A and B are shown apart, each in its own frame.
Chain A
Amino acid sequence: MSEKKVYIIPCSGIGKVFGSIGRKTAYIVVNELAKDKTTLECLPLIVKGKKEVIEALKENKVIALDGCPLKCSYNDLMKAVGKVDTHFLTTDIVKENRDLKPEPSIIPVGENTKQLSIKLAEKVAAEVDKLLKENMERDD
């Protein structure tokens, strides 16, 4: 059995801080919380239709992280790959943590933005474990 990974695909938005939360969250998950279980891919490359990337996404679980209700990551993945296993909106973590108002700065991001990203990353990492467990149960 080939080792399965979960692909984390943030929306790549650069207009507002909510896209930055998604990007920062993805890096925390891939570099720290679920380091050996996850990988990143560029959304623009997926949208472009790079064949080997699309195939890899079809064979693995995919989590989309979006920064606004337009859901570019989710919609673009559905169009290019035909599935998304789990979807998160960064605005939800902001609503759940009213005391941590994200700073508008995108480069660099502010301290509240970092804290929100850590909180969302913890949720995403938990979902990664759930998705990989589903994979194992299916393979058994």
Chain B
Amino acid sequence: MKKKVGIIACSGEKLVGGTLSRAAARIVVEKLRPNNTIILCQPLFMAGGLERHGGQQERDFAKNHPTITIEGCEEECAKIAVDKYSGKPATTIYIQEIAEMYPELKPKSREDLGEDGMKLAEIIAEEIAKKVDELFQSK
């Protein structure tokens, strides 16, 4: 059985970058590479070992599978979490870097990306999907 790639979006609510990271992650997992990817929930990942089963399963998955982190800002919250608990992520995608390549696409707000924002999320998702393919080819 082929291994899956774990997608961990920062998902931060305060910035539009967090919203883009979340939308792009969903597009990859639902539409572009549904058979090769799985979403790992960042806050659950950090809550490992707490009551019930916490995020230990997420951490163990990331230890044994390649991961792609998606960062909505320069804080690199997802990458730092994976580094800390499961080892180095295979790739990190920076939303800002891709957004700067498409200045004509301006997301409406953090609450509602709007048409432009969703187009940008689709482009980011395509970039993530390319990285997923590269990881599968390198195995």
Contact = CB atoms under 8 A, between A and B. Distances in A.
Contact of B25 (A14, A41, A43): A14
Chain A's interface size range is: 20 to 34
B15 A75 contact: no
Interface stretch (B37-45, B60-68, B97-105, B129-137): B37-45
B25 A75 contact: no
Contacts of A73: 43
Contacts of A71: 51
Interface in A29-48: 31, 40-45, 47-48
A26 B75 CA distance: 22
A47 B52 CA distance: 19
A11 B11 CA distance: 9
A79 B50 contact: yes
Ranked nearest first, the 6 interchain pairs of A and B with the lowest CB-CB distance are A42-B12, A44-B77, A72-B43, A12-B11, A47-B46, A75-B50
Interface of A: 10-15, 23, 26-27, 31, 40-45, 47-48, 50, 69-73, 75-76, 79, 106-107
18 contacts: A12-B11, A27-B111, A31-B111, A40-B14, A42-B15, A42-B77, A43-B11, A47-B46, A48-B75, A69-B52, A70-B54, A72-B41, A72-B44, A72-B46, A72-B47, A72-B55, A76-B43, A79-B50
